[in-house]
């Protein structure tokens, strides 16, 4: 039987929760962490560990985890514990093709709504990403990467289109961590991010869309290589 890769347990930088609507706060916090890549594929999220991390009882945590399971952000895994889903190459390809269609549309729709403050925010996110790369701060990079992309997409939609995009990032976010240790990948990603900002600043929606497509395709290529190697290693063991 092939050995499965084990991932180290991580809290995902979860913060304590003190006010009302605990379930909603926990759900939103976990959802954001998953999209940002703070959790890894196959990592289990137990009710007790999350409850301890955020400082609450298990009941609101259980409800939040169930909501994420309904969204396919979590699946029942080993010992019936909820965990971050794993992807195969075929699923990755399908998700990436859908992302290209939806995120490409989103950046084109967002461009006319962009103002100077939006460009400034994107440049700030790029600075945070670059600084995090230099410092070896993977969590900082991943958080700023999602903030960069979500800023663009929220200017396009706060309804159906955004919800579809976020559902795809719930599946892809954990896999972005796998490429975040590759300096060549990150440097290439930053070139593309700066190109996207430049296109939006010029009002060039077509070039901004091309940048988003290039970003998705580059990540897909690197992740496909990683999955192929992982599959080969599992088959050989």
d(CA 188, CA 62): 40
Instruction: Phi first, then psi: give them for residue 185, nearest 5 degrees.
Output: -60, -45
The reported pLDDT for the residue numbered 21 is 82
Span 162-211, pLDDT tens digits: 999 999 999 999 999 988 889 999 999 999 999 999 999 999 999 999 99
d(CA 124, CA 151): 12
The reported pLDDT for the residue numbered 157 is 81
**DSSP labels for 61-108?**
HHHHHHHHHHTTSSEE-GGG-EEPPP--HHHHHHHHHHHHHHHHHHHH
Instruction: Please report the domains of the chain, with CATH numbers, ordered by start residue.
Output: 22-83 (1.10.10.10), 89-236 (1.20.120.530)
With a pLDDT cut of 70, the percent of the chain lying above it is 89
State the sign of the Cα–Cα–Cα–Cα dihedral 2, 171, 88, 209.
Answer: negative
Q: Report the candidate in 81, 96, 148 with the shortest Cα–Cα distance to residue 120.
A: 148
d(CA 31, CA 150): 13
pTM metric for this prediction: 0.85
The reported pLDDT for the residue numbered 80 is 82
Band (pLDDT 50/70/90 cuts) for residue 17 is low
Average pLDDT for 83-95:
95
The reported pLDDT for the residue numbered 232 is 62
The reported pLDDT for the residue numbered 16 is 60
């Amino acid at each position: 039987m092939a050995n499965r890769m084990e991932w180290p347990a991580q809290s995902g930088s979860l913060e304590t929760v003190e006010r009302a609507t605990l379930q909603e706060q926990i759900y939103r916090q976990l959802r954001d962490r998953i999209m940002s890549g703070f959790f890894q594929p196959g990592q289990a999220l137990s009710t007790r560990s999350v409850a301890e991390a955020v400082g609450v009882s298990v009941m609101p945590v259980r409800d939040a985890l169930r909501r994420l399971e309904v969204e396919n952000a979590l699946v029942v895994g080993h010992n019936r514990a909820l965990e971050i889903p794993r992807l195969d190459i075929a699923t990755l390809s399908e998700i990436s093709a859908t992302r290209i269609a939806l995120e490409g549309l989103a950046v084109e729709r967002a461009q006319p709504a962009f103002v100077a403050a939006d460009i400034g925010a994107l440049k700030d996110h790029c600075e945070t990403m670059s600084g995090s790369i230099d410092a070896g701060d993977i969590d900082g990079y991943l958080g700023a990467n999602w903030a960069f992309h979500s800023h663009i997409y929220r200017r396009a939609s706060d309804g159906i289109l955004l919800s579809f995009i976020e559902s795809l990032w719930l599946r892809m976010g954990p896999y972005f961590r796998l490429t975040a240790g590759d300096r060549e990948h990150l440097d290439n990603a930053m070139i593309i991010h700066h190109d996207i900002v430049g296109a939006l600043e010029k009002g060039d929606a077509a070039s901004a869309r091309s940048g988003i497509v290039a970003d998705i395709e580059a990540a897909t290529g690197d992740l496909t290589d990683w999955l192929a190697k992982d599959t080969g290693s599992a088959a050989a063991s």
